[in-house]
Amino acid sequence: MPSISVTQGELLQLKDLVQSYCGIRVEDSKLEFLQDRLVPVISAQGLASLGELCQVLLREIAFGKDVVWNTVLPLVTINETYFFRELGQLREFRDHVVPALVGTKSLRQIKILSAPCSSGEEPYTLAMLLDESPVSLAGWSVEILGIDIDPEAIGKARAAFYPHSAFRATEERYRSKYFTPKEGGHRVVPTLAGKARFMQANLLDLPKDRALEGFDVIFSRNMLIYFDKATQRRVVDQFYRMLNPGGYLFLGHSESLMGFDVEFKLKVSSEAIYYEKPALPGPTSTSPLPSRGTSPLRAPGTSPLSGPGSAPLFTRGSI
């Protein structure tokens, strides 16, 4: 194999390209590790240097292609995720957000976006929670869409097979109800797998598509931390546009909209901090109240979601 050149200058060029393409800031300490993993990618393209690879990536941006980008992205993304990550937010979603939507939406449809979804654990977790919703969703159309830029992660999400480590925060009863044991891990049962759809897309360059509008809840956890402030702002503005009035945004624990001048209303409960896109003025509810439920129903924004008299139904650590 002819020798392949990867210089420090070329690595820095790639780092800049990656950041402008998808927002991810590759840490300088990771560049050496990246260098070794890039050599097979450069070689597979029949190129002689990382500089040439950068030229190919630039050309792809110009022509709206992503074939070679798809071989580079898995090297720079951080896909860490697992089922039932950040339990407090998930309880808030199940016990307050979903009932609030059911109590206020006139159209019996709930659209949820998990972006980024990595290998799918988050969308499938949401599907499990909705399957056990404290309010009846009978007669409702519920859509869960997972988006991630990494083609390998999306491939894993669609395969719906998970290693044991993905279950480190999962109660056994969920694993036995929604998964089938297979060698080396567990597969999502078809009834649950059919409740989530997946799409590979760059959140900095989403196609114009009606399917990407009108969400009631967006989970975007543990991605913005890798972006600079300007890119965070751009993505948050986009989420605002993608949400219905009265819709909700959940960010990761170490992410917030602090310092951003945004229209979102801050929601604080004993379980979670999250955001609401203000509802349109005037009555919005024509749907009946849910027929069963253990959580108080409130129109978004009319009172705190938690507080005295609305103690969490579950203790921390279980869901």
Ligand X SMILES: C[S@@+](CC[C@H](N)C(=O)[O-])C[C@H]1O[C@@H](n2cnc3c(N)ncnc32)[C@H](O)[C@@H]1O
Cα-to-chain-centroid distance, residue 217: 11
Q: How far is the CB of 206 from ligand X (least distance, A)?
A: 9
CB-based contact 305:291 (threshold 8 Å): no
Min separation Cβ 3 and ligand X, Å = 31
**Any contact of residue 148 with ligand X (CB under 6 A)?**
yes
DSSP labels, the chain: ----B--HHHHHHHHHHHHHHH-----GGGHHHHHHHHHHHHHHTT-SBHHHHHHHHHHHHHHT--TTHHHHHHHH------TT-SHHHHHHIIIIIHHHHHHH-SSSEEEEEESS-TTTHHHHHHHHHHHT-SS--TT-EEEEEEEES-HHHHHHHHHTEEEGGGGTT--HHHHHHHEEEETTEEEE-HHHHTTEEEEE--TTSPPP-GGGS-EEEEEE-SSGGGS-HHHHHHHHHHHHHHEEEEEEEEE-TT---TT---SPEEEE-SS-EEEEPPPPSS----SPPPSS-SS----TTSS-SSSTT---SS-TT--
258-277 binders of ligand X (CB under 6 A) = none
Please list every residue from 4 through 23 that binds ligand X, using CB under 6 A.
22-23
Residue 308: CB minimum distance to ligand X, A: 31
Query: What residues from 202 to 241 belong to the interface with ligand X (CB under 6 A)?
Result: 202-204, 221-223
In the bound state with ligand X, the residue whose beta carbon lies nearer, of 22 and 38, is 22
Applying the rule CB under 6 A, the residues between 98 and 117 that interact with ligand X are 116
Considering the complex, what minimum distance in angstroms separates the CB of residue 76 from ligand X?
8
Closest CB to ligand X among 175 and 298?
175
Smallest separation, CB 148 to ligand X (Å): 5
Considering only residues 13, 71, 118, 295, which one is a binding residue for ligand X as defined by CB under 6 A?
Answer: 118
Query: Judged by CB under 6 A, which of 24, 101, 130, 257 binds ligand X?
Result: 24
* Contact region with ligand X (CB under 6 A), list: 76-84, 241-249, 268-276, 292-300: 76-84
CB of 58 to ligand X, least distance (A): 17
Closer residue to ligand X (CB): 140 or 179:
179
**Which of 10, 66, 95, 122 is in the footprint of ligand X by CB under 6 A?**
122
Does position 71 interact with ligand X (CB under 6 A)? The reply is no
Q: Per CB under 6 A, which of residues 275..304 are in contact with ligand X?
A: none
Alpha carbon separation from 289 to 1, 79, 86, 137, 286 (Å, rounded): 68, 39, 29, 11, 9
How many residues form the binding site for ligand X (CB under 6 A)? 23
Do the beta carbons of residue 293 and residue 107 sit within 8 Å?
no
Q: With binding defined as CB under 6 A, does residue 79 bind ligand X?
A: yes
Q: How far is the CB of 118 from ligand X (least distance, A)?
A: 4
Among 38, 54, 153, 199, binds ligand X (CB under 6 A): 153
CA distance 210 to 141: 16
111 vs 221 by CB, closer to ligand X = 221
Sites of contact with ligand X (CB under 6 A):
22-24, 77-81, 85, 116, 118, 122, 148-150, 153, 202-204, 221-223, 252
